Amino acid sequence: MRYLYIILLFLPFTIYSQSIKVDSPKGLMSDLDTAARPIVSTDLVVVVRNDSSLVMTFDIFTVIPHGAFAFHDSSTTLTMSTGVWSMITNAWNTLFTQEDAKFLTFAGDSVTLTSDGDYISIASISFGGTAGDNYEFAYFKNGALVDYSTLERTTSQTDVGNLSLPVYLFEIVAGDDITIKVRNTASDDDATIVSVSWIIWRLHI
């Protein structure tokens, strides 16, 4: 019988590599040292079978964690107090519609990332305010400002403008919760959020 030999390198869980062979079309793995096998994670599951060989299931290698969320024509007014952050949501935390979500959870207008790693998040936000007001938008992780993510726009009139909010979220730990917030740094004039398109995906572990 011919075997296909594969060298597996398991990083960043631990420094570990081993030659294994695939001995059936189902992908069963044999000759894997059970004493030195890598740490189980959301990306690699190792299951011991009765005959002491191992089955390896690759969970998130072909489908990366990602999600897409949006709403439009909502004209949701967020009450502003000068310098105070307000989450982009409605009174019921049901403003966004989930378009797609894999290996993450979207609920209450926030994203809970269920896999470790570094992520890219991009939101495009259409909003209106009052002439001369300065609005800042930013991501929050677990309720804390991701300070390098803050972008701002000054409104010249009451018409609707747009702001894009890209960010690199590094060293995400499973369970981290991400939200988008806005504040008016010039006055108490409210912000009216008309539409948002928000996508997020993992770059690597």
DSSP 181: E
Q: Retrieve residue 80's tokens.
A: 């502003």
Q: Residue 194 is encoded by which pair of tokens? A: 């008309």
Q: How many CB atoms lie within 10 A of CB 129?
A: 26
Specify which residues 183 forms β-bridges with.
Answer: 136
Average model confidence (pLDDT) across the chain: 80
Domains of the chain are 4-58 (no CATH), 66-204 (2.60.120.40)
The answer to whether 130 and 155 are in contact (CB under 8 A) is yes
**pLDDT for 57-111, tens place per residue?**
554 456 789 999 999 988 899 999 999 999 999 999 999 999 999 999 999 999 9
The string of pLDDT tens digits covering residues 25-47 is: 444 444 444 444 444 444 444 44
**Alpha carbon distance 199, 173 (integer Å):** 19
pLDDT of 203 higher than 60: yes
**Euclidean distance between CA atoms 169 and 106, whole angstroms:** 17
